[in-house]
């Protein structure tokens, strides 16, 4: 159902989605208080140039996949929210280079977030479902979840660990492209952490292998590989426009359908490798 050719779509994503982290120069974050909390180095300075990267969805279909070694063979691995590695290495690997978490987790599950060692590995990035194309001051006054105090508390206890705040304009630039390339009207909710993470890694890496975002032959109603909870909506979407995200990613896949079926694997080029 996508309207643009895969090549044009990649160019649109590269040219219109500005993946940036909140910096000192961003309006309300220019205070001397925020200076102490925001990381001094930019994300690209922190990670450097990355070759092959893996994005690991949290889907139940990762269970018994035995993809761990393949995932760990990448230069960098992105994981989401509370997705664990301990006890699941055979299926999901053990390397965590970046962990993308939503503001709900940082706020509602604050005590776990501040205490669990799971979060102490790699670079953390938090994102918040800001209102559609809201101006940064407006968002700062009224974030979806007020995670700022929890962010500061985490930074005080882990000052050496890089921890960024995703600039929320990115998610709506991405949503606009999702909408333009879908025949149906999409609910105005931001893309899932999974889709945001895929585009984030396309800005940092030469190649991005995404695991179990498009479900393999192991597709299941079990929501997460680390829980017993069943919910069809985890894979197909309810709040997030997941089905549209998955169609878009399928359209840009440079790997084979066989790789999707056996490994749940999609291969996307990094934006630096895209010629427009």
Which residues make up the interface to ligand NCC (CB under 6 A)? Answer: 57-60, 80-82, 102, 104-105, 192-194, 213, 223-224, 234-235, 239-240
Using alpha carbons, list the distances in angstroms from residue 52 to 36, 85, 170, 221. 33, 20, 23, 30
The C-alpha atoms of residue 55 and residue 58 are separated, in whole angstroms, by 10
Do 190 and 42 meet the contact criterion of CB atoms below 8 Å apart? no
Q: How far is the CB of 227 from ligand NCC (least distance, A)?
A: 9
Closest CB to ligand NCC among 23 and 247?
Answer: 247
Nearer to ligand NCC, 38 or 105 (CB): 105
**Phi, psi of 26, rounded to the nearest 5 degrees:** -85, 90
Report CA 88 to chain centroid distance, whole Å. 20
Smallest distance, ligand NCC to C-beta of residue 45, A? 26
Q: Whose Cβ is closer to ligand NCC: residue 54's or residue 59's?
A: 59
CA dihedral sign of residues 108, 112, 114, 118: negative
Least distance between ligand NCC and beta carbon 103 (Å)? 9
CA 219 to chain centroid: 21
Measure the CA–CA gap between 138 and 169, rounded to whole angstroms.
Answer: 12
- Distance, in Å, from the CA atom of 52 to the CA atom of 24, rounded to the nearest integer, reads 30
| Minimum separation from the CB atom of position 213 to ligand NCC (A) | 5
Q: How far is the CB of 197 from ligand NCC (least distance, A)?
A: 8
Closer to ligand NCC by Cβ: residue 28 or 251? 251
Rounded to a whole number of angstroms, the minimum distance from the CB of residue 226 to ligand NCC is: 10
Report the residue number, 63 or 155, with the smaller CB distance to ligand NCC: 63
**Dihedral angle sign, alpha carbons of residues 114, 46, 190, 228:** negative
Residue, CB closest to ligand NCC:
194
- Which residue lies nearer to ligand NCC by CB, 82 or 269? 82
Structure tokens at 177: 């492209």
């Amino acid at each position: 159902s996508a309207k643009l050719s895969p090549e044009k779509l990649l160019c649109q994503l590269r040219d219109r989605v500005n993946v940036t982290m909140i910096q000192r120069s961003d309006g309300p974050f220019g205070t001397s208080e925020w200076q102490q909390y925001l990381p001094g180095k930019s994300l690209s300075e922190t990670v450097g140039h990355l070759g092959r990267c893996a994005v690991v969805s949290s889907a139940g279909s990762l269970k018994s996949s035995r993809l761990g070694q393949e995932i760990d063979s990448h230069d960098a691995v992105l994981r989401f929210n509370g997705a664990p590695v301990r006890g699941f290495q055979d299926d999901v690997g053990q390397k965590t280079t970046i962990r993308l978490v939503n503001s709900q987790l940082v706020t509602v599950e604050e005590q776990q977030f501040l205490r669990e060692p799971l979060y102490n590995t790699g670079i953390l990035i938090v994102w918040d479902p800001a209102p559609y194309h809201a101006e940064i001051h407006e968002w700062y006054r009224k974030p979806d979840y007020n995670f700022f105090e929890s962010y500061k508390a985490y930074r005080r206890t882990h000052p050496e660990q890089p921890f960024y705040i995703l600039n929320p304009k990115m998610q709506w630039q991405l949503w606009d492209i999702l909408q333009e390339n879908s025949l149906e009207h999409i609910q105005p909710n931001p893309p899932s952490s999974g889709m945001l993470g895929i585009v984030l890694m396309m800005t940092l890496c030469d190649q991005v292998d995404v695991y179990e975002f498009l479900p393999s032959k192991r597709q299941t109603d079990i929501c997460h590989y680390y829980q017993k909870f069943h919910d069809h909506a985890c894979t197909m979407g309810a709040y997030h426009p997941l089905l549209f995200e998955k169609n878009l990613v399928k359209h840009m896949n440079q790997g084979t359908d066989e790789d999707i079926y056996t490994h749940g694997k999609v291969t996307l080029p990094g934006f630096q490798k895209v010629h427009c």
